Amino acid sequence: MKLNIKVFLLIFLIFSFTIQNVLALTYRVKPGDNPEKIAKKFGISVKTLLKANNIKNPRRLRVGQKLFIPIKSKKRKKKVERKKGQSCKYVYTVKRGDVLSIIAKKLNISVRDLKRWNNLKGNRIYVGQKLCIKPIKSYTKSKRKKRNYTHTRRKYRYKTVITYYRVRSGDSLSKIAHKFGISVKKLAKLNRLKKPYRIYPGQKLKVPKRVKVYSRRYKPIEEYKPKRRLNFKWPVKGEVIKGFINTEEERHVGLDIKSDCNERIVASEDGKVIYAGDSIKTFGNLIIIRHPNRYNTVYGHVDEILVREKQRVKKGQVIGTVGRLDNKNCGIYFEVRKNTYPVNPLSVLENKQ
């Protein structure tokens, strides 16, 4: 008898301990219900619901069936709700006709975030379901780094090039001419065709095509700008037909001076000849003189060189004669450098020739 009383008391203590932590509810299945919906409603997992009711096949739920719902104690539930409430910005209640994409678009959030916040594996939701919406970091325009993009338009010109066109079945000379925007006569002349201008499929025809040709881009090189005018002497008397250019489109770091053929070329300043020869083909016969303060002057397109290397020259001394600048003009190319940096010659030359 005493043993039976002890067993009864032990069972009662175990039952009272479990009743404090877990409360049992019953729920009657309604039309449209499924295990996921019911589990979500009571804040439990589907696995726990099925295990508590010994359900092996979750699809065999019937309307009116009673289900045992194991729920944790209210004190613990309140703590969980508080934690959830703190992280959620607000709670959205699903309405009739709502789907995740519509809700996400309405709240200006992504479907991916909406699923992650509410632990949703699929896209299935039900009317009355409460969805947690968390705050999203907003990036203001002021916080974004402004990037300065400098677009420089490249200069281009149109050039006509000859390409080949393979004749297809159904083609005619007039049809091909219209396609490439030229006359039938020009197309026939280009391909040496005689009347009646017979062509056949597979035949190759020359056709003119207009293409854009972009000018070469240069990286502007570092140049030296003198603080005061140095009054270098003009090497020849003449007209500057092309000036100093140091841009992305063109690089011409000297002056093209048009002058009379065989005109005398003079040294711009006292110095020493460090080069006299024709090994640099771009400028033909070339003279380079080194001056005080690390200045160098370059004289290109010289016809006759009248000085030699390592020779000392005076300002205004004749060093050569004017050659041909190009096919039309006589003249010289004149360049000034400070160490290796180019200098605009107009900033160091005398005001008057």
Residue 113 lies inside a defined structural domain of this protein: yes
Residue 3 lies inside a defined structural domain of this protein: no
Residue 75 lies inside a defined structural domain of this protein: no
* Residue that is written with structure tokens 């947690």 in the block: 132
Look at residue 254 in the predicted model and tell me its pLDDT: 93
Same domain assignment for residues 265 and 304: yes
Which amino acid, one-letter code, is at 15?
A: F
Same domain assignment for residues 123 and 196: no
Same domain assignment for residues 249 and 207: no
Look at residue 97 in the predicted model and tell me its pLDDT: 83
Alpha helices, H only, 107-249: 111-117, 173-179, 184-190
Same domain assignment for residues 120 and 174: no
Report the alpha-carbon distance of residue 275 to residue 286 in Å, rounded. 7
Residue from 275, 164, 156, 254 nearest 211 by CA? 156
Report the alpha-carbon distance of residue 210 to residue 162 in Å, rounded. 9
Q: What is the DSSP letter of 279?
A: -
Look at residue 134 in the predicted model and tell me its pLDDT: 83
**Residue 141 φ/ψ region, left for φ over 0, alpha for ψ in the -120 to 50 degree band, beta for the rest:** alpha
Same domain assignment for residues 285 and 332: yes
Residue from 322, 292, 289 nearest 304 by CA? 322
Same domain assignment for residues 28 and 113: no
The domain in which residue 58 lies consists of: 24-70
Residue 307 lies inside a defined structural domain of this protein: yes
Report the alpha-carbon distance of residue 34 to residue 59 in Å, rounded. 8
Please say whether the beta carbons of 332 and 298 come within 8 A: no
Same domain assignment for residues 207 and 300: no
Look at residue 231 in the predicted model and tell me its pLDDT: 84
| Gyration radius of the chain over CA positions | 46
Look at residue 318 in the predicted model and tell me its pLDDT: 95
Which residues, given as ranges, of the chain have pLDDT below 50? 13, 15-22, 74-86, 138-151
Residue 124 lies inside a defined structural domain of this protein: yes
Please say whether the beta carbons of 308 and 288 come within 8 A: no
Look at residue 298 in the predicted model and tell me its pLDDT: 95
Residue from 276, 278, 281 nearest 313 by CA? 276
Same domain assignment for residues 115 and 64: no
pLDDT in tens, 256-315: 999 999 999 999 999 999 999 998 888 899 999 999 888 999 999 999 999 999 999 999
Confidence (pTM) = 0.41
Q: Who contacts 102 (Cβ-Cβ below 8 Å, separation ≥6)? A: none
Domains contained in the chain, number: 4
CA distances to 122, 157, 206 from 164, rounded to whole Å, are 59, 22, 5
Residue 227 lies inside a defined structural domain of this protein: no
CA distances to 157, 166, 186 from 176, rounded to whole Å, are 25, 10, 12
Please say whether the beta carbons of 217 and 169 come within 8 A: no
Residue 299 lies inside a defined structural domain of this protein: yes
Residue 142 lies inside a defined structural domain of this protein: no
For 17-53, b/e burial (b = at least 16 CB within 10 A) is: eeeeeeeeeebebeeebebbbbbbeeebebeebbeeb
Look at residue 148 in the predicted model and tell me its pLDDT: 45
Look at residue 5 in the predicted model and tell me its pLDDT: 57
Instruction: Give the CATH number of the domain where residue 31 resides.
Output: 3.10.350.10
